[in-house]
Amino acid sequence: MSTPTAPVLPDPYLPENGSDGYRVEHYDLDLECKLGGNHLAGTATITATSARALAKIEFDLAGLKVLKVSVNGKKAAFKMRGDRLVVSPATRVPAGERFTAAIRYAGSPSPRAGVWGEVGWEELDDGVLVAGQPNGAATWFPCNDHPSQKATYRIAVATDADYRAVCNGELVDHTRKASRERWVYEVREPMATYLATLQIGRYERWVIPADGAGIGGRHAAAVVLPAQILLAPAELKAKAEAAFADQPRMIATFSEAFGPYPFDAYAAVVTEDELEIPLEAHGLSIFGRNHLAPGWEQQRLIAHELSHQWFGNSLTAARLQDIWMHEGFACYAEWLWSEAAGQGTVDERARAAYAGLAKKPQDVRVGEPGAANMFDDRVYKRGALTVHAVRRWLGDTAFFAMLRAWTQANRHGHVDYPRFIAHVDQAAGHADGAEELMRPWLFATALPPFPVSRA
């Protein structure tokens, strides 16, 4: 695992989020959710290490009431300042000391509004959905809410009987008592807060068989498929199984291109509701029933969310201006799957994307898009064309070797543009060239000429 990049906070893309005063190591969340009335009560026990002496410790928390706080077992004073919980421990926490904060809270959680729309906890007609990107984690637990702050988790959720609570990680315990069921999950790899999720619904669980994945290529022998789980309402089982039938081949294709799948399992959760877009989380992705329709558009989305397990979830941008390193690679993964599935070559997809970009306003700097444009489609498509330019420059053999080395070197860590530049130069066998290649794609507004192979 790579050494985590030092926090760059406050982040201008989320200036009110995150704290560089400490680094969280572990979240232990013990939650009680009553679906009727949308009521959440919880205790978050947060283990962290201070970066400097702390007279005050700040956490992100939006729309919920704090009832009690202790630090290292001693009662601590606290107050809310907007969407920030400011804790004053009984004694100052020295620099470099590990400490534990226990925060008891409750309320009726709801999404928080931003320039990207509403994110976070959403009450459904019959359940709960959490879409955390980029700053929705604070709607359901107190946290250091910035992607540079990864930690391990234990999430215990008690909710109404006959509903399944789905979280990240491995299900390690499940009990039922009277009208309540309790589900306990453990996340053992470092996870960014925005990737933490909770889905509650009347979900059935199936395993997607990996037989006949059709793995080919020079690296096929090294491809190990993870356990693949499908969760959906019972009435959607047939449609869900059909929609995700090619997922084992997708994972095999991406494992060969990017290196080993970074987690032990992968789950796809299909809600009864229709969703505008699917979304990725650590070790799983969430889809609406509308994403089960046949055709390339839905398969493209399934491939896109799956590829985020490598680019975004295992390799996480330490600063939000580098969001293209998540979305550009995920868009490129769509094109790789298109070629593997016989739906059009990578170059054909790239040329179509280039033609589409040429018709749009060219006023976004993809490597520094600004908060409002983080999820603009031009960041996705032009980011993918940046990846294609690197491929044409390096050649296929060196390009895929570079990608596999990149995901391995930074597994479960953080990445940024300068580190990627250095890595590509190393793959090219000389000390410079990658910056000159990528800068026009990422930091000029005008669209560069379509990528060509290096002579």
Tens of pLDDT, residue by residue over 68-124, are 999 999 999 999 999 999 999 999 999 999 999 999 999 999 999 989 999 999 999
Element (H, E) at 110: none
Q: Could you tell me which of 125, 110, 108, 111 has the C-alpha nearest to residue 41?
A: 108
Q: 9: pLDDT confidence band, cut at 50, 70 and 90?
A: confident
Distance, CA of 89 to CA of 215 (rounded, Å): 55
pLDDT of the residue at 276: 93
Q: Indicate the average pLDDT of the chain.
A: 95
- Whether the per-residue pLDDT at 1 is higher than 50: the answer is no
At the top level of CATH, the class of 22-197 is mainly beta
pLDDT of the residue at 222: 60
% of the chain beyond a pLDDT of 90: 92
- Whether the per-residue pLDDT at 291 is higher than 60: the answer is yes
pLDDT of the residue at 215: 52
Q: Could you tell me which of 195, 183, 113 has the C-alpha nearest to residue 154?
A: 183
pLDDT of the residue at 224: 84
Q: Give the fold, CATH level 3, of 317-443.
A: Neutral Protease; domain 2 (1.10.390)
Any idea where the domains of the chain sit in the sequence?
A: 22-197, 205-309, 317-443
- Whether the per-residue pLDDT at 220 is higher than 80: the answer is no
> Are the C-beta atoms of residues 396 and 454 closer than 8 Å to each other?
no
- Whether the per-residue pLDDT at 16 is higher than 60: the answer is yes
Asked if the peptide bond before residue 451 counts as cis, ω within 30 degrees of 0, the response is no
- Backbone φ and ψ of 42, nearest 5°: -155, 160
pLDDT of the residue at 430: 79
Looking up tokens 């839905």 gives 298
> Are the C-beta atoms of residues 314 and 411 closer than 8 Å to each other?
yes
Distance, CA of 355 to CA of 363 (rounded, Å): 16
The dihedral through the CA atoms of 88, 94, 95, 98 has a sign that is negative
> Are the C-beta atoms of residues 414 and 2 closer than 8 Å to each other?
yes
Across 331-349, average pLDDT: 98
- Whether the per-residue pLDDT at 34 is higher than 80: the answer is yes
Distance, CA of 411 to CA of 414 (rounded, Å): 8
Asked if the peptide bond before residue 260 counts as cis, ω within 30 degrees of 0, the response is no
The number of beta carbons lying within 10 Å of the beta carbon of residue 294 is 10
% of the chain beyond a pLDDT of 70: 95
Query: What's at 10, amino acid-wise?
Result: P
CATH code, 205-309: 3.30.2010.30
- Whether the per-residue pLDDT at 221 is higher than 90: the answer is no
User: What one-character DSSP code corresponds to residue 347?
Assistant: H
pLDDT of the residue at 210: 72
